[in-house]
């Protein structure tokens, strides 16, 4: 048996998404920038997909810009938002994805901004009072705080952050890669300037995503070239990927409630089984269901021999998962998220992440194998 529990890294392509993409691959091959019939047909496909996405998110098609990935979307929002608006101060957390952290670090190293880190607690929760203090103490800031942490699953309060940013005239960027398609986002009400999506996190294809740019803010292109994406992103659009993204999001919204119930049930079941089976086990991140991403369970195991080989041992046992341990020294390459929340440096941690295709039988198999590995390495 082979079990896939690394859906936070990427999800399997939905067969319906594949069918939709293949249909377009067979019939639509024109360049969408061309003015002839074949080009107009390709352009129509893109704009129909853009409209589908915008309708699902409660926004205008004019605010959706297709990209190659969530990473490109994050880079575009951060670099262009800061440089084009002459922002000198940025606020983020130490548990953000590297697409965000490394971008800020590069801007700080170049002398463009001063970078502040908002405090997070041992579960990865944002200190909102500290965030307000940072906003008060500095000139207009650029704030980037993700909706759900990709390693430990802790959720941030987007509405509260949006209100704070509005009160202090800050620009708010939110990395929603892990939650787009898993939670409903009403962009007509949310006070965020930038949101991000990557299709392969919601059973769509790799190599395509989008950046939502609220009409209240204007930026220049990050990638120059042709006039694609209404002069916002040069480069011929990935037609097939865009169609797949729109179809994946459409399916996600139509089936969201049942999938959330199914996946949350599996997460709770696995958690209970692990507690019953393995003495001394604990969990990284927020444990309250309302404050935690339902697709992610980050497990901290008891101290064991060969702890650094746990992921490899799981792979040999037929289980695909990810994660790791916090850095125990400055030279170790470990999880920056676990290090930031003060997780144990002597106990191994593994992230198990679920999808609509995950089954109870797979959870039972995983718990059995994990228990065996813990007994062998005790």
d(CA 260, CA 207): 25
Catalytic site includes residue 165: no
Q: Catalytic residue among 80, 165, 327, 374, which? A: 327
DSSP string, 11-23: -PPPHHHHHHHHH
* Distant-in-sequence, close-in-space partners of 104: CB < 8 Å, separation ≥ 6: 78, 90, 92, 113, 115, 144
d(CA 8, CA 314): 17
Closest by CA position to 349, among listed 302, 317, 313, 314: 302
- In DSSP terms, 284 is beta-bridged to 298
For 361-367, which contacts have Cβ atoms below 8 Å and span 24 or more sequence positions?
Answer: 362/1, 362/3, 362/5, 363/266, 363/269, 363/270, 363/273, 364/273, 365/1, 365/3, 365/318, 365/319, 366/3, 366/5, 366/270, 366/319, 367/270, 367/273, 367/274, 367/277
User: Which among 155, 152, 201 has a CA at the least distance from the CA of 349?
Assistant: 152
Q: Do 178 and 8 contact (CB within 8 A), yes or no? A: yes
C-beta of residue 293 within 8 angstroms of C-beta of residue 180: no
Cα(30)–Cα(38) distance, integer angstroms: 5
- Please, what sign has the CA dihedral across residues 188, 190, 192, 195? negative
How crowded is the C-beta side of 232, counted as CA atoms within 13 Å? 19
Closest CA to 108 of 88, 137, 80: 88
Q: Which residues are catalytic?
A: 327
């Amino acid at each position: 048996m082979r079990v896939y529990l690394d859906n936070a890294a990427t999800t399997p392509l939905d067969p319906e998404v594949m069918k939709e993409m293949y249909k377009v691959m067979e019939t639509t091959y024109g360049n969408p920038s061309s003015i002839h019939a074949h080009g107009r047909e390709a352009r129509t496909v893109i704009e129909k997909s853009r409209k589908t996405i915008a309708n699902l998110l409660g926004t205008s098609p004019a605010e959706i810009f297709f990209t190659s990935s969530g990473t490109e979307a994050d880079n575009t929002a951060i670099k262009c938002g800061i440089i084009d608006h002459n922002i000198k101060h940025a606020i983020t957390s130490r548990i953000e994805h590297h697409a965000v952290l490394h971008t800020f670090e590069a801007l700080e190293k170049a002398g463009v901004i001063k970078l502040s880190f908002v405090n997070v607690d041992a579960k990865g929760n944002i200190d909102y009072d500290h965030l307000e203090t940072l906003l008060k103490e500095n000139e207009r800031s650029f704030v980037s705080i993700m909706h759900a942490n990709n390693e430990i699953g802790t959720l941030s309060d987007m509405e509260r952050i949006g209100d704070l940013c509005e009160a202090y005239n800050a620009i708010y960027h939110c990395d929603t890669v892990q939650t787009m398609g898993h939670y409903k986002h009403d962009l007509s009400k949310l006070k965020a300037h930038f949101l991000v999506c990557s299709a392969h996190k919601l059973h769509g294809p790799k190599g395509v995503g989008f950046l939502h740019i609220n009409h209240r803010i204007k930026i220049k292109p990050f990638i120059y070239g042709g006039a694609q994406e209404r002069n916002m992103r040069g480069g011929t659009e990935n037609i097939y990927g865009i169609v797949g993204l729109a179809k994946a999001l459409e399916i996600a919204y139509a089936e969201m409630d049942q999938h959330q119930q199914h996946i949350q049930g599996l997460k709770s079941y696995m958690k209970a089984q692990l507690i019953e089976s393995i003495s001394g086990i604990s969990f990284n991140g927020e444990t309250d269901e309302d404050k935690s991403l339902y697709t992610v369970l980050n497990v901290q195991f008891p101290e064991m021999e060969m702890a650094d080989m746990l992921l490899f041992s799981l792979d040999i046992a037929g289980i695909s998962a990810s994660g790791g341990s916090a850095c125990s020294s400055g030279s170790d390459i470990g999880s920056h998220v676990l290090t930031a929340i003060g997780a144990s440096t002597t106990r191994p941690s593994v992230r198990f992440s679920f999808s609509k295709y995950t089954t109870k039988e797979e959870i039972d198999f995983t718990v059995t194998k994990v228990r065996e590995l813990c007994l062998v390495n005790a």
